[in-house]
Structure 1
């Protein structure tokens, strides 16, 4: 299952974590790219993340 557009927590260091949006996910290799709130990209393995909100759980807001 693709995690593109999922909101996730990811490990940035031994005791540091960040939160961001998955912008790219390769299902075969398990690698992904996450963009945090500051626009910084993190590249890593999907086993180093925790999904906070899956894409199909996103709530559409009335405009």
Structure 2
């Protein structure tokens, strides 16, 4: 690989990372099937807890 191509590649990689930080994804965090089952079991065991407090997809719940 020639020198110019390698330099351009590294610079483009840095730019891509910078743009990714500026525009974070709006997708909710993935929760595995086992984790969902565990949360459901906890919720059944403690029905007095609200769904708002135990929702891991929304870390900063609006009150």
Could you say which TM-score interval applies, normalised by the shorter chain?
under 0.3
TM-score with structure 1 setting the length: 0.21
Max radius of gyration: which structure?
A: 2
Structure showing the higher helix proportion among its residues:
2
TM-score with structure 2 setting the length: 0.21
Structure showing the higher strand proportion among its residues:
1
